[in-house]
Structure 1
């Protein structure tokens, strides 16, 4: 793209609108944290059954991630996001009306389908419309909205905790689902998808709407030429997605998702109130403390967004992981002492907040950005689907096993294992993950390809 060319307001509007899918992702991920305390009481659940309800979302998300990529490649990014918004609404109503644990698990699977689809589609949509100079910040709008969705779920949970209104917590998701559908219905399709399907006139029109600045016409033609060049180098299907040409990118994408889940963040997001009630807080106080977790999550995500296109992806990941390790060590040590009060309780909450802050500014800010940047155009939807299947598969393992493992071996070994896995991810980022800051998607593709 020519220097001086920048995004129009339409790019910003489209990115914010698509990122409402991230808000829904965050809300439906975080709502189980506040609601599980009351669901456990109403249905009389043990630790494994609680894990099944929490992890059911990940099962659906695996299905959604698998299906979203091919649908987006065939029908377009925009129609796929619209379909996901409808599933969000259906799942929220289904969960709110669940008469027993089995039906709630089924509803969580349905919700998970839309969450998995959103985790693929939103970063993909934003990355394909954004200019390189601000692509990182725009794609991390998705993560910001995820954290806002989690915070909103905590606030709704706190407000409804006095009446134990967990059903209303689930039903609330219908509102942002409707907003997402309304907003996406008036947005353009991504020019890269249009070019991939030989709709050149419309692609040129849409790209011209998305770019402004000096000599914008020439810049648009240069960008189209670069996209067509990568398109012309061949289509990669499911059987070829692990081939030599895309294997380096796939290693980076899958590796980041695999290791990010093993750092324990979703265990904390899902079970923060449960952890704090086990440490001695009442239900309402634990949910209120978790609201603080949500606030820190949002604030530090904004910090991460401001840094990602300045410091780059790799330095931010390395610094964040470096802070996560001591926070987890402290958290495991303090929680191992049993019921907390006074200084011990304060230290546990500080450790929890420090961990969330480090995760938000680094791992969670970047985990969806890099995969959206590194895959070839023709396989981008499919490869993002496979990548997010890894994310949600590990999410399922962690969310299902966390409470039983915590009860079996205790807080200290559990959180120290997470700390050790943070070190493993630090080494992976240091020696395997490339820097993508400031490079076009086509430049990144050329750099990673093995011919």
Structure 2
């Protein structure tokens, strides 16, 4: 195979300098895919009690309605064959259809079907958006720009909580409002360019250069980036799922997929899904529980906003190692408060609220920040879409298990036992990070791939 060549740009043909605003605009618009994800995750919290009454659902039925997954199974192939941008467009269109279907669902099975359609959309968006932004962002800003997706997720959750509080028992309007961000994302993405790395592979160097000229202020940096892409394209190797069996890829797969699993088994979505139920068990009325749940959304949003600032300053690995111990402590305290099977009384009830908010701050500000960034950064170019699809599937598959078992676990182990289990999971996530997760801050995607190929991936600190 001949080496891919990159035509040299004539000096007189330099584009006029641009600021970083164009790539920030691209990241902000595409991050609306996270708004869909967050709204779908959070809206079930407020809608679930009324849905259960309207359709006479028990725990199992509630959990099935809560489980919005699929999407990630096909996301890698869609993003690779159609392009990252078109994958985001597809997710917006599918979400709009699902939101309308859920709003008008006349019975249980149609509502469950609509939730599966929504799951297809958010699964696709949660793979395609971080991948798209990671491939278009410059190394120095990549962390914060990709994490903007998770910030949009938390904003969507907060919007869902506010909608649940304001609309009270009108769950059809709660679902129907999801059409608004879907339409905004659809319109916004239609005006954005494709990922330069996808274009390099499918359309050639000049197509990639045209996009990089729009999103880089330094023409010399564009030439360097294209040269690195050409060198990476020259590396031999298979594409697709079979390529993931390569031994040199294993450290990245362990780290990326391990963080994907950890982001769910540590309990963040269980708390978000069932916060009103947990607070109800603590003696709070429905209105107070829903208002406190809004506080969960606010804390989650603020911590991810802080994470955007920190992830490119102190690094991905350090952010995890600093905050995860706090999540362990908060969960352990909640587990202790609920021991004995009695609802907490007096000041203990507010200790539960403080620990829920503390846990959301520590877990949401660390794992929830890094998980969508890790895969697109760690996985090499030729298998990036497929590998990110696998890690995204891991997120949603484990999320399905958590959402299907949380109420059952609470029934079997009690609230205290469930919190002790999540305490252990957060401790294991900390130990996993310490052992297997490297530091990728400030490195280009091609540099990270070079380190991975050299066998020194885990040594990056």
**Interval of TM-score (by shorter of Structure 1 and Structure 2):** over 0.9
Distance in 1 between residues matched to 2:108 and 2:454, nearest whole Å: 49
**Selected match of 1:38 from 17, 41, 50:** 50
Matches within 5 A, 1:140-289: 140-161=147-168, 164-212=169-217, 216-234=218-236, 235-289=238-292
Matched, 1:398 2:402: yes
Kept in 2, the 8 Å contact 1:78–1:189? The answer is yes
- Report Cα offsets for 1:305-329 as digits up to 9, x if no partner: 1111111111110111110001001
Matched, 1:117 2:120: no
Distance in 1 between residues matched to 2:245 and 2:428, nearest whole Å: 24
- Report Cα offsets for 1:376-416 as digits up to 9, x if no partner: 11111111001111111110101100001101110111111
Matched, 1:309 2:312: yes
- Report Cα offsets for 1:355-393 as digits up to 9, x if no partner: 001012111111111111011111111110011111111
Distance in 2 between residues matched to 1:450 and 1:86, nearest whole Å: 42
Distance in 1 between residues matched to 2:393 and 2:245, nearest whole Å: 15
Q: Please, which runs of 5 or more residues in structure 2 have no aligned partner?
A: 1-16, 456-461
Which residue of the partner structure matches residue 33 of structure 2?
21
Query: Aligned-pair distance for 1:105?
Result: 1.3
Q: Secondary structure of 2:243's match?
A: coil
Matched, 1:434 2:441: no
Structure 1 71/28 Cα, relative in aligned 2: closer, same or farther at 3 Å?
same
Kept in 2, the 8 Å contact 1:262–1:394? The answer is yes
Distance in 2 between residues matched to 1:420 and 1:297, nearest whole Å: 21
Q: Please, which runs of 5 or more residues in structure 1 have no aligned partner?
A: none
Kept in 2, the 8 Å contact 1:134–1:309? The answer is yes
Which residue of the partner structure matches residue 353 of structure 1?
357
Distance in 1 between residues matched to 2:39 and 2:338, nearest whole Å: 27
Query: Aligned-pair distance for 1:6?
Result: 8.8
Query: Aligned-pair distance for 1:448?
Result: 1.5
Kept in 1, the 8 Å contact 2:74–2:389? The answer is yes
Query: Aligned-pair distance for 1:182?
Result: 0.3
Query: Aligned-pair distance for 1:339?
Result: 2.9
Query: Aligned-pair distance for 1:265?
Result: 0.5
Q: Secondary structure of 1:228's match?
A: helix
Which residue of the partner structure matches residue 138 of structure 1?
145
Distance in 1 between residues matched to 2:226 and 2:103, nearest whole Å: 47
Kept in 1, the 8 Å contact 2:92–2:121? The answer is yes
Which residue of the partner structure matches residue 421 of structure 1?
425
Distance in 2 between residues matched to 1:102 and 1:151, nearest whole Å: 28
- Pairs aligned (count): 437
Which residue of the partner structure matches residue 99 of structure 1?
106
Query: Aligned-pair distance for 1:241?
Result: 1.5
Which residue of the partner structure matches residue 443 of structure 1?
447
Kept in 2, the 8 Å contact 1:6–1:131? The answer is no
TM-score by length of 2: 0.92
Distance in 2 between residues matched to 1:195 and 1:280, nearest whole Å: 58
Distance in 2 between residues matched to 1:44 and 1:341, nearest whole Å: 31
Distance in 2 between residues matched to 1:218 and 1:395, nearest whole Å: 44
Which residue of the partner structure matches residue 86 of structure 2?
79
Kept in 1, the 8 Å contact 2:268–2:364? The answer is no
Query: Aligned-pair distance for 1:170?
Result: 0.4
Query: Aligned-pair distance for 1:450?
Result: 5.8
- Please tell me the root mean square deviation across aligned C-alpha atoms, in Å: 1.4
